[in-house]
Structure formats: structure tokens, C-alpha cells
């Protein structure tokens, strides 16, 4: 699921084409905005897609429409690749520990929609990105993988976003492969990766 540019979606497509996520099948893209650039990427790579607009629906109506589609398509795992909406508890429960999100900070620091701005404002020297499972909170689910980056003295929101994005594109496909291969064991907040 994506809302905009879809560079993380593209990273999944590229990793799949390189054979790096052999246990995943990228079957369908869902966007909640008609003009999401992610759609162009799906078309180019011949991945089916559906637009389910969210601006004209309640959260519950939107989630119900998405869940109906996921059921029809027998979708097992949902990736939020730059999907900028909070899902309802019912949605989360239906896909418990099967929804993956990528977030541009070292969680639990700086959850929410302005992670880069918040990190710079706070004055941190290190930030990064987090691939995590989605629970009912905002960017609060069990952490699968993180990568750090060092901030420079003159870092801007844009430069930090660029710096972190490269690593998002690396860890999201890796986390997806782990999830799809059944190697992830979740115990409360703790995620362990089975070695075989
Ligand atoms: C990424 O930084 C992602 O972590 C955040 O929103 C941005 C989306 O970028 N949730 P893209 O649409 O994947 O290019």
C-alpha cells in the first residue's frame, strides 16, 4: 500500500527482480490517492493495482474496502510502503503481525509524519530508519530491522530524508523476505530472526 511517490515500492520491485525476495510475490498495489506516482511504477512493471480513495470515506469504510479486496485476492502480507494513513484496530487485528511498515527514524524516537523535521529540531546526532510490524499505535509495533545514519552539522529536512531513504530501500526488502520466509518469531515487543 502506498500514498505517493512509491520509491519504497520501487525498491521492492527492484529487489524482487534481482531475486532477493524469493518468498514474496508482489501481486497487488493499493493506493489511497488517485495521483500517487506509485501507480506509474505498478503499470510499468505490470503489477495489478487498485485505487481506493480515502478522502471521501471514513477510516472504517476505507479499511473495510481494502480488507474486502485483500480477502478476494488472498493476500497474506501487507506492506505499508509510504502509506500515510492510520489503519483501524480491526484491520490490524485481521493481519496481526503480517503488516510491515517502513519509517524514517530510529523508533521509538520520532514516530509520526514529520520524523526528519522532528529529529533535526531535537538535535540528535544519529537517526535512521526502522522496518517494523504494525500494531494499533503510531509507528509503535515490534521492530524487525534498523539502520542508522549520522547527521551533519548543516543537515536539512531534505538532506536527511535523502540520506535515510537509501537505507529504507535496503532494509524494507530484507524485512519483507524475512517475514515471507517465516523466519520472524514475535514475542510481545521482541522479534527474533530464526537462522534457518
Ligand atoms: C518514506 O520516507 C517512508 O519511510 C515514509 O514516507 C516516505 C515515503 O516515500 N513513511 P516513498 O513513497 O516510498 O518514496
**Complete DSSP assignment for the chain:** -BSS--HHHHHHHHHHHTTS-TT----EEEESSTT-THHHHHHHTT-EEEE--STTS-HHHHHHHHHHHHHHTT---EEESS--SPPPHHHHHHTTT-EEEEESS-TTSS-STTHHHHHHHHT-SEEEEEEEE--SSSS-SPEEEEEEEEPPTT--HHHHHHHHHHHHHHHHHHHHHHHHTT-EEEETTEEEE---
What pLDDT, on the 0 to 100 scale, is given for residue 118? 98
Residue having the nearest C-alpha atom to atom 8 of ligand 1: 82
113 CA closest ligand 1 atom index: 10
Q: Is 104 in the pocket of ligand 1 (CB under 6 A)?
A: yes
45-83: pLDDT as tens digits: 999 999 999 999 999 999 999 999 999 999 999 999 999
**What integer is the mean pLDDT of 179-196?**
95
Interatomic CA distance for residues 123 and 171, integer angstroms: 25
Residue whose C-alpha cell is 552539522: 153
Q: 140-151 pLDDT, tens per residue?
A: 999 999 999 999
Whole-number Å distance between alpha carbons of 155 and 78? 33
Polymer length of the chain: 196
**pLDDT given for residue 125 in this prediction:** 98
C-alpha radius of gyration, the chain, whole number = 16
CA 133 to ligand 1 center in whole angstroms:
16
Percentage of residues of the chain with pLDDT beyond 70? 100
Does the domain at 7-193 match CATH 3.40.50.170? Answer given as yes
Q: What is the pLDDT of residue 80?
A: 98
User: What is the residue with the minimal CA distance to atom 6 of ligand 1?
Assistant: 82
Active site residues per annotation:
103
pLDDT band at residue 196, thresholds of 50, 70 and 90? confident
Domain ranges of the chain: 7-193
pLDDT at 26: 98
- Which atom of ligand 1 lies at the shortest distance from residue 81's CA? 13
Q: Inform me whether the pLDDT recorded for 96 exceeds 90.
A: yes
Q: What is the mean pLDDT of residues 169-190?
A: 97
**Which atom of ligand 1 is nearest to 83's Cα?**
10
Amino acid at each position: 500500500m502506498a500514498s505517493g511517490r512509491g520509491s519504497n515500492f520501487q525498491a521492492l520491485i527492484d529487489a524482487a527482480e534481482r531475486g532477493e525476495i524469493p518468498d514474496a510475490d508482489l501481486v497487488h498495489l493499493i493506493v489511497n490517492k488517485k495521483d500517487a506516482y506509485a501507480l506509474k511504477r505498478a503499470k510499468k512493471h505490470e503489477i495489478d493495482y487498485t485505487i481506493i480513495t480515502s478522502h471521501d470515506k471514513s477510516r472504517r469504510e476505507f479499511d473495510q474496502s481494502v480488507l474486502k479486496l485483500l480477502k478476494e485476492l488472498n493476500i497474506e502480507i501487507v506492506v505499508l510502503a509510504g502509506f500515510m494513513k492510520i489503519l483501524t484496530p480491526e484491520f490490524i487485528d485481521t493481519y496481526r503481525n503480517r503488516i510491515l511498515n517502513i519509517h524514517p527514524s530510529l523508533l521509538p524516537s520520532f514516530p509520526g509524519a514529520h520524523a526528519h523535521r522532528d529529529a533535526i529540531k531535537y538535535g540528535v546526532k544519529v537517526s535512521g530508519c526502522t522496518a517494523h510490524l504494525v500494531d494499533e499505535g503510531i509507528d509503535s509495533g515490534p521492530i524487525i530491522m534498523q539502520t542508522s545514519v549520522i547527521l551533519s552539522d548543516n543537515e536539512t529536512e531534505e538532506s536527511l530524508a535523502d540520506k535515510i531513504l537509501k537505507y529504507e530501500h535496503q532494509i524494507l526488502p530484507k524485512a519483507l523476505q524475512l517475514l515471507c520466509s517465516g523466519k520472524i518469531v514475535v514475542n510481545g515487543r521482541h522479534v527474533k530472526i530464526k537462522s534457518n
